Amino acid sequence: MKINIKRIDKTLPLPKYETAGSVGFDLICRESAEIAPQSIVLIPANIIVETPPGYMLMICLRSSTPRKFGLMMPQGVGIIDNDYCGEADELKIQVYNFTDSVVNVERGSRIAQAIFVRVDTPEWNEVEQMSAASRGGFGSTDR
């Protein structure tokens, strides 16, 4: 699969898959950021990606980011639609500082990764009653 990608700052490298088994490619912070305690900041990731039809791009933190930086993604993951690829559509990494101290992220840091995920758009078939029996509701398997 060939993907069109544009770097905003060409002095920073293209993202890459760090190992042969990596499913995600690391995103690189284009700017240094200072994140105050208990606050949310968007950090530019230096790229615009043309995600192909039938795919989305999912942004997740690297597994080491909460431990090393004290940051998490407030929404869990970032979902990038395949039509988010115009000239002003730079990927951004949304982070929440869950510590009681200021967190500094330096330009060039790799705090997040992106993964191409195949998706489909269903047609709704509205029914009056579902054909399967109820499992028992939310939390029903915690008996």
- Alpha-carbon distances of 112 from 15, 18, 91, 132, 133, rounded to whole Å: 11, 13, 11, 40, 41
What is the strand order of the sheet 78-80 is part of? 25-27, 112-118, 55-61, 78-80
Instruction: Give the whole-number percent of the chain exceeding pLDDT 90.
Output: 87
Rounded to whole angstroms, how far apart are CA atoms 41 and 35? 6
CATH architecture classification, 25-118: Distorted Sandwich (2.70)
Statement: the pTM of the whole predicted model exceeds 0.75: yes
- Model pLDDT, residue 143: 61
Average pLDDT, the chain: 94
Q: How confident is the model at residue 36 (pLDDT cuts 50, 70, 90)?
A: very high
Structure-token pair, residue 51:
């995600």
Give the start-to-end residue ranges of the domains of the chain. 25-118
> Which residues have CB under 8 Å from 104's CB, separation 6+?
32, 33, 34, 35
Q: Does residue 110 register a pLDDT over 70?
A: yes
